[in-house]
Structure 1
Amino acid sequence: MIISSLRTRPQQVKSGIGRGKRDGRILWLSTMKLYRVKLVYLTMPKKLRNCAVVRNVFRLNETRRRKLKLYQAQFCKVRLCPMCAWRRSLKIAYHNKLIVEEANRQYGCGWIFLTLTVRNVEGDGLKPMIADMMKGWNRLFAYKRVKVATLGYFRALEITKNHEEDTYHPHFHVLLPVKKSYFTHNYIKQSEWTSLWKRAMKLDYTPIVDIRRVKGRAKIDAEQIESDVREAMMEQKAVLEISKYPVKDTDVVRGNKVTEDNLNTVFYLDDALSRRRLIGYGGILKEIHKELNLGDAEDGDLVKIEEEDDEVANEAFEVMAYWHPGIKNYIIR
């Protein structure tokens, strides 16, 4: 069965598969080709080139505004691929939404946002700094003061680049569920968080640490709490922002040409993030993640983001789409 309006000529697909990310992937692909020469990489450029190019299946639900939804695709899963990073971020954000809702239902948590930073480093110092930050993180949450005050965490590593100074800024965005009594008992001030992070990292300078409460109204239910959490995430560019783009392609690769700066950026990021997990769950959030059987958002399936209704299979049909480099969009045959 084929949509009548799609019979006469190839049609562009307006879907969530990510046209903008596809365009960005082309620049990344060109950069990776030079990177292949630098590191004798043989498979990464090929994987990037073929990422979500063919055998993409969309399902159209006639009863829901004829909206096409990605049903099947072949993603390369290269860590720095903008297309895969975008799909991965959608999945992480969806998982976080479910976890926050369940945590509110089970525990009626309060929520705070924590940002932990270190000084910028040059490219060759990025990988060892991230390793030190992971060790510092483990020490921080092993402290009795922190364990008593918090119920768990969602931690996300973000890396931005200062192109003017050619340095990198790795930092953690953290969502912390706490007991409602936290704000009257066991409260940790911003200055104390700073001191604890400095101690955990064994720094000889005072790092910048930001801590913010997700404020609710006097009488609110779980749905309102979850809504406030989402709003705060967006305003502070914290958890949902990092869920969307752990490493933003637009922030890292600049312009529309392959340059030495872009090449070095990809080189250092790929080296620093190789075999490195960008997100982590702990405490009740880790338990809930397991209870909900959410799977691995970083290395798992990038097609299925959220559960589909049982009726979808009966109301939808499949169409094939492929990427057209001239039109720079997906078309249906």
Structure 2
Amino acid sequence: MIEHQVFTDLTKNGKPRPWKKNKLDNLTYAEYLLMLNYRKATNVKDCGNVLRFKKTKDGFLKLYQTWFCKSRLCPLCAWRRSMKNSNQLIQILNEAHREYPNGCFLFLTLSTKNTYSDTLKPEMQKMGRSVSKLFQYKKISKNLLGYVRSTEITVNHDDGSYNQHMHVLLFVSSRYFKGSENYISQAEWTKYWRKAMKLDYQPMVNVEAVHPSKSKNDLLAGAKETAKYQVKSADYITDDKQRDLQVTDDLEQALSHTRAISYGKLFKTIRKKLQLEDEDDLVNTDDPNEDSVLTDAEIVVAKWNYELQNYFIS
């Protein structure tokens, strides 16, 4: 009888990386795409089947070769994309703070009323246009140094509606907190967002200030919130297959040709300067803590076993 060695990939904190869970969710997602007659279903199923790693000098694994489908809802790709965006964003924020040590960070959440499948994509497009308009208002733009934004969609399984909301991390000059002519209260942010969106109701808006020298954990949390998945797989992989199929189809249509994350002003300049622009490279997550020189490192190959539903060392 052949013995199979289960593959394990640990973080430096000793926590197992969720390769197995994300691959299992990937296979469910691929099954849904096949049932919905999406041509990419086979490609999605093959995502991350063979993983090739190199061992770093301290014994950890660094992925150096595999094939990712890059479908927006693929749990494997979404996980890797979230890691990449988070690691890149931390580097950008650190550089921004180095260039403007007196600058301050704000975490802004912008939302609108829930919508349904037929209006989800138009509402997301409207939000994208409106947030650009928001940052052009004089009181906002005069102290805004840089920003990064992402849109998250959550599913209300009770009525089949969707909530689209935007996470924005803003970097503002120190003048922002000096005087009513510069400072923008939550009520004012709400007024400006309502104006930009041309709404006939008061939208949900939340704004919080964070400062890296006082609370690095808060800034890290804000970065991770901005860079996280657009849609959690738990929203379209549940115990109700028929509902899951409808949600998957709705989200596929809504997310088609959209950006997961966007940078503006100083953040966009720094991202280009640091050469962090290859969004399609999900093998390299741009983790500054990982070793980059691995030419002669030991190679570890993990292959997905469909029968045993896990990765095993090849």
- Percent identity reads 37
Does the residue aligned with 2:295 lie in a helix, a strand or coil?
A: helix
Structure 1 gaps, min length 5: 1-7, 234-238
Q: Which amino acid in the other structure matches residue 201 of structure 2?
A: Y
Aligned to 2:36, the other structure's residue is in SS state: helix
Query: Is it true that 1:21 corresponds to 2:31 in the alignment?
Result: no
Aligned to 1:277: 259
Alignment map for 1:192-231 (pairs within 5 Å): 192-215=188-211, 220=213, 226-231=216-221
Q: Tell me, in whole angstroms, the C-alpha distance in 1 between the residues paired with 2:278 and 2:201.
A: 36
Alpha-carbon displacement from aligned partner over 1:93-135 (angstroms, at most 9, x marks no partner): 0001100110111111211110000000011110111111112
In the alignment, which residue of structure 2 is the partner of 1:146?
140
Q: Which residue of 2 aligns with 1:5?
A: none
Distance in 2 (alpha carbons) for counterparts of 1:296 and 1:184: 38
Residue of structure 2 equivalent to 1:305: 285
Give per-residue Cα distances to partners, 1:205-256, cap 9 Å, x unaligned: 110100001156xxx4xxx65444114x2xxxxx41342311111123212x
- Match of 2:64, SS state, is strand
Question: Bigger shift: 277-286 or 239-248?
Answer: 239-248
The two structures have a TM-score, normalised by structure 2, of 0.90
Match of 1:106 in 2: 99
Deviations 1:159-205 (A, max 9, x none): 00110111000010000001122111411110110000000000111
- Cα distance in 1 between the residues matched to 2:91 and 2:135: 24
Match of 1:73 among 46, 66, 77: 66
SS in structure 2 of the partner of residue 74 of structure 1? coil
Contact 2:105 2:210 in 1 (8 A): yes
CA distance in 1, matches of 2:266, 2:144: 10
| Alpha-carbon distance, 1:312 to partner | 3.1
Q: Secondary structure at the match of 1:24?
A: helix
Greater per-residue helix proportion: 1
Are the equivalent residues in 1 in contact too, given 2:149–2:226 (CA < 8 A)? no
Secondary structure of 1:151's match?
Answer: strand
- What TM-score do the two structures reach when normalised by structure 1? 0.85
Q: How many residues align?
A: 301
Distance 1:47 1:242 in 2: 28
Indicate the residue corresponding to 1:53 in structure 2.
49
The answer to whether the 8 A contact 2:169-2:226 is kept is no
Please name the residue that 2:13 is paired with: none
SS in 1 for 2:97: helix
Q: Which runs of 4+ in 1 moved over 6 A?
A: none
For the residue of structure 1 that corresponds to 2:142, the secondary structure is helix
For 2:186 and 2:94, how far apart are their aligned partners in 1? Answer: 27
Counterpart-to-counterpart distance in 1, 2:227 and 2:272: 19
**Which residue matches 1:236?**
none
Write the distance in 2 (CA, Å) between the matches of 1:311 and 1:90: 20
CA RMSD of the aligned region, Å? 1.8
Residues 1-333 of structure 1: pairs in structure 2 closer than 5 A: 9-15=3-9, 16=17, 18-36=19-37, 41-42=38-39, 44-54=40-50, 56-61=51-56, 63-64=57-58, 66-108=59-101, 109-185=103-179, 186-215=182-211, 220=213, 226-231=216-221, 233=222, 239-255=223-239, 259-297=241-279, 300-306=280-286, 308-309=290-291, 311-314=293-296, 316-333=297-314
Q: In structure 2, the residue corresponding to 1:312 is in which secondary structure?
A: coil
**Which deviates more from structure 2 when the two are superposed, residues 304-313 or residues 279-288?**
304-313
User: Secondary structure of 2:70's match?
Assistant: coil
Structure 1 pair 310/192, CA: closer, same or farther in 2 (3 Å)?
A: closer
| CA shift for structure 1 position 309 | 3.1
- Aligned-partner residue type, residue 304 of structure 1: N
**Aligned with 2:258: secondary structure?**
coil
The CA deviation at 1:152 is 1.6
What runs of 5+ residues in structure 2 fail to find an aligned partner?
10-16
Distance 2:225 2:105 in 1: 17
**Residue 219 of structure 2 aligns to which amino acid in structure 1?**
V
Matched residue, 1:4: none
Secondary structure, counterpart of 1:142 in structure 2 = coil
